[in-house]
Structure 1
Amino acid sequence: MDATYWGRNFGVVIMKDSLSGDVLWFKFINRHERLEDYKEGISYLESLGYTIQGLVCDGFKGLRQAFPNYKFQLCQFHQVMTIKTKLTSRPKLEASKELLELSKMLCHTDKESFIGALKEWYTKWEDFLKERTTTEDGKSHYTHKALRSAFLSLKRNMSSLWTYYDYPELKMPNTNNAIESLNADLKTKLNLHKGISMERRKIFIQDFIKSHSPKK
């Protein structure tokens, strides 16, 4: 499940079955997605009798805690993008360069190899991460805050990055790429109709999504 936007004030939340490829639920939203939007969608699917094996989504705050009864897979691609945002695509520090390259392995390796490589990286750079800088007013802070933030993001999310690997019988994908592809296709087609009214835009999106929904 994921949300996609057109500008700051209009978007749609979509829930898609990774096995069949069907869109099972969607909702137009104003401004930002909320936990309540996802809860509404899950409640709707539950009311129809769907058996939900697990959830694959990005790192939207609180999402994991909102659905404790379901297996949760954090999109590995989104995690890589988080690291890239914190470190930039061309970091200057050697430790940052190594962590960025390591993060790029996330979607292409197994759990044990990645965790082992991350532990080796931390052992090498532990003292560097703990370096502190004292400002003129006497206050102290970590010197390499962006690097620490990137590493701690990986460490904090580690248990949710490998759900698909720990439960292969669920056949969960490790990324949201399937729904991202759907959103990209939708945006490409909608861009051919620039200038249409909001009402017609919604009708277009509804028709597009319905073409990817289960046939009644």
Structure 2
Amino acid sequence: MGYTIKAIIIDGKRGLYKAFKDYPVQMCHFHQKKVIQRYITMHPRLEAGKDLQKIMYNLTSTTQTIFTKKLNEWYEKYKDFLAEKTINPDTFKESFTHQKLVSAYKSLKTNLPYLFTYKNEKNIKIHNTTNAIDGGVFSPMKKLLKIHNGFTKSLKLKIVDDYLVSYKKK
């Protein structure tokens, strides 16, 4: 089709890191912030949640080194709190008392290598969000596909192919 892939900006779907391992991968900051917000809410009540929210607030204005340092300091401060377990009285199974905070931290640790690609890759201009593609490229294409929702998968793929070729010519 004539496209040269220089980098990939992803929204956090698990298999994408491996699928694009040969390319620089940037995790979308908007999607990462939304993941953390889903776990700790917009108005966290726990001090650990409030502190993690402050770290997230600075995501776009900091470096990978400083962000990693702040995240590690946060973990050291709250690791005993995060390790607390609760026993379900009905099943007698243990689970993390603060599971959502643990999940938020694990999400950041997992995605950390991909959060600063846009700053670390000096030879390529990479955005830190998928916004340019979601609204600029894919939004009209999604509308086009929705209008033709009765088409077969192969016909839809042809529509996508034609759309991308015509988009590239603009």
Instruction: Write the deviation string for residues 158-203 of structure 1: whole angstroms up to 9, x where unpaired.
Output: 111122222121111111121233269759xx7xxxxxx9349x9x
Equivalent residue number for residue 6 of structure 1 = none
4+ aligned runs moved over 3 Å, structure 1? 183-187
| Structure 2 residue 103 is the aligned partner of structure 1 residue 154 | no
Aligned partner of 2:136: which letter?
L
Gaps of 5+ in 1: 1-44, 191-196
**Distance across 1 between alignment mates of 2:20 and 2:148:** 33
**Distance across 2 between alignment mates of 1:102 and 1:142:** 22
Aligned identity (percent) is: 37
Gaps of 5+ in 2: 152-158
Greater relative CO, 1 or 2 (CA 8 Å, sep 6+): 2
Q: Equivalent residues in 2 for 1:45-56 (5 A)?
A: 45=1, 48=2, 50-56=3-9
Higher helix content, 1 or 2: 2
| Structure 2 residue 85 is the aligned partner of structure 1 residue 85 | no
**Distance across 2 between alignment mates of 1:73 and 1:89:** 24
Equivalent residue number for residue 147 of structure 2 = 198
Equivalent residue number for residue 34 of structure 1 = none
CA apart distance, 1:135? 2.4
Equivalent residue number for residue 23 of structure 1 = none
Instruction: Write the deviation string for residues 122-143 of structure 1: whole angstroms up to 9, x where unpaired.
Output: 1111110111112224321110
Q: What TM-score, normalized by structure 1, do the two folds share?
A: 0.63
Equivalent residue number for residue 65 of structure 1 = 18
State the superposition RMSD in angstroms. 2.8
Count of residues in Structure 1 that have an aligned counterpart in Structure 2: 156
Equivalent residue number for residue 213 of structure 1 = 167
